[in-house]
Amino acid sequence: MTFPERPIAFIFAASNHGTMIVNCNDYAVQQQQSFGVGLQILENSCFDASEVQFVLRLLELGRRYFGDGVFAIDGGASIGVHSIEWARLMHGWGPRPEL
């Protein structure tokens, strides 16, 4: 079986969020500025830290005012950075099953 030569798109990247599958082509260029989730992870080992921290603080406030039943839904627009960080923060939240 023969395939055309092409650059590798997906790689495993060790990031501050854990090992992630990152698309090396996940970037855009506008006015000589590059941006994209994959690009940030490959260049900085993390996605926009201030954005992630902002949402984590919102979740903590939600828990403070509404209790452990707070939940969050990640719409799946990218590779899961928010889902990973939310899961770390929210581990153990919610009702405990009775044994």
Which pTM does this prediction carry? 0.79
Return the pLDDT at 54: 97
Residue type at 58 in one-letter notation: L
> 27 pLDDT exceeds 90?
no
DSSP 43-81: HHSSS-HHHHHHHHHHHHHHHHHH-TT--------SSSH
> Is there a contact between 51 and 82 (Cβ–Cβ < 8 Å)?
no
Hunting for tokens 């969050």 — which residue is that?
A: 72
Domain ranges of the chain: 10-90
Bridge partners of 15?
18
Distance of CA 79 to the CA centre of its chain: 6
